[in-house]
Structure 1
Amino acid sequence: MPQPVNTGEIPLEMYERILPEEIAKLRQLAGDLKGARVLHINSTPYGGGVSELLRSQVPFERALGIDANWQVISGEPSFFRVTKAFHNALQGGAHSLTRADQEIYLAYSSLNAKDLKGDYDFIIVHDPQPAAIRSLRPDINAHWIWRCHVDTSNPNPEVWDFLVDYVNAYDAAVFTLREFKPYGIKIRVETITPAIDPLSPKNMELPDEMISHLVNWTGVSDDSPLICQVSRFDVWKDPLGVIEAYRLVKQEIPNVNLALVGSMALD
């Protein structure tokens, strides 16, 4: 069954010190949504970009007066093997869709949909893993939004043809770029470009002493140039491309170092 995720609180005053005009505008825009009950659903509480986003977005929405919540779906490893294959296939990866894939996906989607509790005004479902839930819960009278965080401009046809009807059951879909909209979408489409949270641990400014300690701990000299990629360890993040770029740079700057920093996701 879907499990709630506790994100804590974020005081808006911390952001106002950095972006006072933007926060004032957000307060104004959020006025009509004050008290709205919003649920975000995804597949993992940590280990990927969506979970990192929600750990900032959910408390930020709460600070604006929105009753925002976050739940993650559950399932056996067989379910997440299928959804991982779907996730890669939507980005153009090769995958031969089987009857077993479909049955596993729908079986665990049904279990998560059945156990979905709560009364919400908006339900935002992130990426393909929980996408079928909307079709399986027509009794929930909310505004349903499918939020796609990957490049689906050229999806694997077998997988996308299976999923597209579930996506079209939503009231709207959100993509990172208009060009990422795949064929067959019949619902309203909006775009939200990527952003960062300047106050998240990954983006906070660190003292010079701590930087030196952390860099030296990895075996990298802090007085040498450094190429660093921070991302999930995933073929779609193109770590091989980063390594190739490092090799090219090293021909001109022999003392340059390379660090690939990241983790694996639960899903």
Structure 2
Amino acid sequence: MAKLSQELTDLYRRIGELGLPTLSFAAIHLNSKGFSWAELGRERGVTYQKVNQGKKETDFLIAWIKKRMEAEKVKYVAVNISGKGDLEELGAGLWLKLDAVPLIDRRTKNPSKRRLDWLARRTQTKFEADDVVKVKLKSRNQVEVAWLVRSQEYEKVDKKWWRRLVSQAEEFGSKKILFINATPRGGGVAMMRHALVRLYKLIGVDARWHVLQERAEAFEVTKRKFHNVLQGAAGRGVSLTGKDRQVYEAWIGENAEMLKPVIERADVVVIDDPQPSGLIKFIRRWAEDKKIIYRSHIHLDSKLINRSGTAARRSFEYIWANAKKANVFISHPMLEFIPKVVSRDQVVLWGAATDPWDGINKPLTRAQTNYYLKRFNKILLEEGQEPLDLTRDYIIQIARFDPSKGIEDVLEAFRLLRAKMESKPPRKARLRGKPQLVLAGHGSIDDPDGAPIFNLISGLVGSQRYRHLKDDIKIARLPAVDQILNALLRRSKVALQLSHKEGFEIKVTEALMKGVPVVSYNVGGIPLQIKDGVSGLVVKKTGNTRQVAEKLYRLLTDKRFYQKMSRGAKREAIKEGLTVPNAAVWLYLANKLVE
């Protein structure tokens, strides 16, 4: 007990030495004379202040809040905003300048001190213990999407695409588009849907997003017998069984009953990936002429699917029995992802998207970046790992802990890189110490592989092969706070994406947008995102970790070459892979279907 007590004391001491600010939640109400302010700290009660200066300009308010934040040594997680004036302008300023989530409140008119205190307390209840926004599911599992910025912020990113979006929205009019997927958080699909529906709300498009009911045994089937098998990443002996079908069909039937009223009201229904594909037969039963889009987000191994007798063939035939009833089959822009059985007349090729203003991409100040890197180090300390040394360079791979992500290859390439640096040391001026490795990603409720793969990789790091590098390898499953990934990417020297199977990896685009060169395998849609030798380096043969190490060595030791790659990364990041073009294309397709 004494040893455990001492270890806990040491842990708390080291976390305290990080110097993380106190977290606080606030409420501000604007009126004709000035504004009222209340805030709630985790370690203290509510404080209240009334400011009668007659100034409500956003710049003044942001400066006042920032000054208070610095004086009190707090980090405002979220602020409830009510009253008179341009609440959206203030909200966007809070998110983009102070990194505080804005909660626009149109109902509160003239709050008393007690009411404003209550609003500050209520703001805190919208977050989980680790300051992750609670995803609210409304009636029939409709996802409530948070407001972050105004339409003006999106318009200035790309005015040409913005005009196209507005034109398509006007044509779509009062019609309704419905998106259905497995989960409201975790993975690229959920991130894209949050951004897409948020933007549609800003421009008045009736877009709704619903998710399936959570059920562990059903997700075992959809992840391991659908997703992994279709990618050719499931391993020997894994195949869809009769019992699996029974589990899936019972679950999808319950979801169909729950979603029927929502589906019947929609003009266009989008089915994201295999998990909700079983809904299509119900939709056709209810309304034969309903416009349905099936969106495949994964790397379908068509060679396996096309081969008779394979597990991939059996899984795809089962899914395709429903998916073929959709009007359109959308795939990432790789013809090799499309099995022979899919009619080319149904196919639309289309990449994934990321959002310029969400937590993983929005600009961060140096202080904000440092804060989130300290948050990352706190997570490492709590996991029993040494903190990331921020005075040294590091290489990063951000991905789910999944069999297809090539994480074992990342470890081996890092070992070979460090061995080469020992045998052929670079000049000190070219490198900030020996490089470290970061392996990080979010989990998802529909992914039962996450914890086992994380534990497997953790065990490998502690094995004899990698033990000498253990303190320089950081591995973490992160809470759903996107700014941690944003900060990690921005400070990284090089990003890796050594997936063995991959659709269109949006983390590649997100790294390039920040000027971080990417080293990847020539897999799936990744070569469409990286210009080899311009914005990153592509290793032709999957599994060639020695060549990965060689390319890393050059990027880390050849300063002029690295700077060229970094400039190329920013320049060549796919501009069409952002939310506004993505939203415009969705509406273009919907308009064509309902003509």
TM-score, normalization: structure 2?
Answer: 0.43
Give the 5 Å matches for 1:19-98. 19-85=158-224, 86-94=226-234, 95-98=238-241
Aligned to 1:206: 364
For residue 181 of structure 1, the aligned residue among 338, 341, 349 is: 338
Higher mean alpha-carbon deviation, 15-24 vs 74-83, is at 15-24
Q: Aligned-pair distance for 1:65?
A: 2.9
2:243 aligned partner, one-letter code: A
User: C-alpha distance in 2, partners of 1:123/1:258?
Assistant: 42
Looking at both structures, which has the greater relative contact order when contacts are Cα pairs under 8 Å and sequence separation is at least 6?
1
Paired letter, 2:211? V
Q: 3-state SS of the aligned residue for 2:276?
A: coil
Match of 1:16 in 2: 155
Does structure 2 conserve the Cα–Cα contact (< 8 Å) formed by 1:34 and 1:64? no
Distance 1:247 1:216 in 2: 26
Indicate whether 1:142 and 2:298 are aligned. no
CA distance in structure 1 between the aligned counterparts of 2:325 and 2:445, rounded to whole angstroms: 27
Distance, in Å, in 1 between the alignment partners of 2:207 and 2:323 is 22
Partner of 1:247: 415
Q: Deviation of residue 216 (structure 1)?
A: 4.6
Equivalent residue letter for 1:3: N
2:257 aligned with 1:114, yes or no?
yes
Instruction: Tell me how far 1:3 sits from its aligned partner.
Output: 0.8
Task: Output one character per residue of 1:3-48: Cα deviation in whole Å (capped at 9) or x when no partner.
Answer: 1100134522111232223212221233211322011000111011
Match of 1:195 in 2: 353
Aligned 8 A contact 2:330 2:347 in 1: yes
Instruction: Report if aligned partners of 1:4, 1:70 keep a CA contact under 8 Å in 2.
Output: yes
Q: Is the 8 A contact 2:329 2:346 kept in 1?
A: yes
**What is the distance in 2 between the residues matched to 1:249 and 1:11?**
45
Contact 1:231–1:262 under 8 Å retained in 2: yes
| Residues 197-231 of structure 1: CA deviation (Å, up to 9, x unaligned) | 11110111211123234335522222322212222
Matched, 1:101 2:241: no
Kindly provide the amino acid, as one letter, of the partner of residue 100 in structure 1: K
CA distance in 2: counterparts of 1:191 and 1:2, whole angstroms: 31
Distance 2:408 2:151 in 1: 39
Name the amino acid aligned to 2:348.
Answer: E
Q: What's the CA shift for 1:170? A: 0.7
User: CA contact under 8 A between 1:175 and 1:191: conserved in structure 2?
Assistant: yes
The amino acid of 1:8's aligned partner reads A
Range that drifts further, 53-62 or 19-28:
19-28
| Structure 2 counterpart SS, 1:173 | strand
The structure richer in helix per residue is 2
> Could you list the runs of 5+ residues in structure 2 that have no partner in the other structure?
1-138, 306-311, 378-386, 422-430, 447-595
**Pairs aligned (count):** 267
Tell me, in whole angstroms, the C-alpha distance in 2 between the residues paired with 1:2 and 1:236.
Answer: 33
Preserved CA contact (<8 Å) 2:233 2:404: no
**Percent identity for Structure 1 against Structure 2:** 27
Q: Is 1:227–1:259's contact at 8 Å kept on the other side of the alignment? A: yes
What are the equivalent positions in structure 2 for 1:216-235 lying under 5 Å apart? 216=374, 218=377, 219-235=387-403
Unaligned regions of 5+ residues in structure 1, if any?
A: none
Letter in 2 for 1:209: A
1:258 pairs, out of 437, 440, 444, with: 437
Deviation at 1:112, TM superposition (A): 0.8
Distance in 2, Cα, partners of 1:102 & 1:185: 22
> Against the structure 1 CA distance between its residues 35 and 230, is the aligned structure 2 distance closer, same or farther, given a 3 Å change threshold?
farther
The 1:196/1:245 distance shift into structure 2, 3 A limit, reads farther
Structure 1 position 93, deviation (Å): 3.1
Structure 1 residues 244 and 33 mapped into 2: Cα distance closer, same or farther (>3 Å)?
A: farther
Alignment partner, residue 315 of structure 2: 159
Q: CA deviation at 1:2?
A: 4.7
2:230 maps to a residue whose letter is: L
Contact 2:273–2:297, Cα closer than 8 Å, also in 1: yes
One-letter amino acid of the structure 2 residue matched with residue 198 of structure 1: P
Conserved? CA contact 1:212–1:222, under 8 Å:
no
Q: Deviations over 1:135-154 (max 9, x none)?
A: 12221352111111001133
**Post-superposition offset of 1:166:** 0.8
